[in-house]
Amino acid sequence: MDAPGLSIFFPCYNDARSIGALVERADAVAAEFTTDYELIVVDDGSRDGSREVLEALAARFPRLRLVRHEQNRGYGAALHSGFRSATKDWVFYTDGDGQYDVGELRAMLALIGDGVDLVNGYRIMRSDPAYRIVIGRLYQWAMRCLFGHRLRDLSCDFRLIRRRALLAVELHCGSGAICIELVNRLERAGCRALDCPIRHYARPHGASEFFSPRHLWATAADIVGLWWELKAPARGSS
């Protein structure tokens, strides 16, 4: 039996110095798995020369497609564009900042089979400053209390998802809360999820904008709205 098709995409925002290595690595890993694959990069309004880097990459890698946002729309919007653009049986995504090794996708691909719809990475070690590790653990605990999800590491953006399952859920969040929404909607739809250990590396270039006031506010507002939609009616009917 032929291997299933594979879409790999990266949201990219000011990742000019890391996105090239990710695309090269992804092309090699995908070619080992299947002849039916595509690479997608969603450039979310980068201002650092990412567009020029991506255009040069597209000339070298014929399976690479570029999706452009003329203005920065945020992480959730970039994932929306990536999910809409993917056409293959399985969809993998991770961030374009180089904090994960795309080569570890091999371990995830070994886990797919009948009845599995989501393989979610969890960080066996986290290469972040201590304050971010503490905040991350508190965030994980709070989201588990609010939503009751079963995955070990909700914030690990290293995911392989069956496209059929993606098409069966409707996503609305435009902020980083889209990861919470994605996992919860898939679980509520009856999708079977597996955890897969992966390594996490220090960000090689630039700085995360997650903790900017604008992003924090948008994420908080989306979390409240999502909780109200998914959990508040159940609480009210009890």
Task: Specify if 169 maps to a domain.
Answer: yes
The residue type of 42 is: V
Domain total in the chain? 1
In a domain, 200, yes or no: yes
User: For position 206, what pLDDT does the model report?
Assistant: 60
Between the CA of residue 101 and those of 33, 62, 97, 198, 213, what are the distances in Å?
Answer: 16, 22, 11, 8, 29
Instruction: Give the pLDDT confidence score for residue 46 in this predicted structure.
Output: 95
Residue 238's pLDDT is 47
* Each residue's pLDDT tens digit, 68-127: 999 999 999 999 999 999 999 999 999 999 999 999 999 999 999 889 999 999 998 776
Which residues make Cβ contacts (< 8 Å) with residue 162, sequence separation at least 6? 89, 90, 91, 112, 116, 117, 118, 191
Tokens of 56: 């040069």
In whole angstroms, give the CA distance from residue 196 to residue 100.
13
Residues belonging to the chain? 238
227 in a structural domain = yes
Predicted pLDDT at 138:
87
Q: Is residue 89 included in any domain, yes or no?
A: yes
Tokens (6 digits) for 182: 């994605």
In a domain, 96, yes or no: yes
Which CATH number characterizes residue 137's domain? Answer: 3.90.550.10
pLDDT of residue 154: 86
**Could you list the residue range(s) of the whole structural domain that residue 130 is in?**
6-237
Is 1 domain-assigned? no
* Domain assignment present for 131: yes
3-state helix, strand, coil in the chain (%, to 5): 45, 20, 40
Stretches in the chain below the pLDDT threshold 70 = 1, 127, 129, 205-212, 232-238
pTM for the full model? 0.89
User: What's the pLDDT at 143?
Assistant: 85
**Amino acid identity for residue 188 in this structure:** R
Would you state the pLDDT for residue 44? Answer: 96
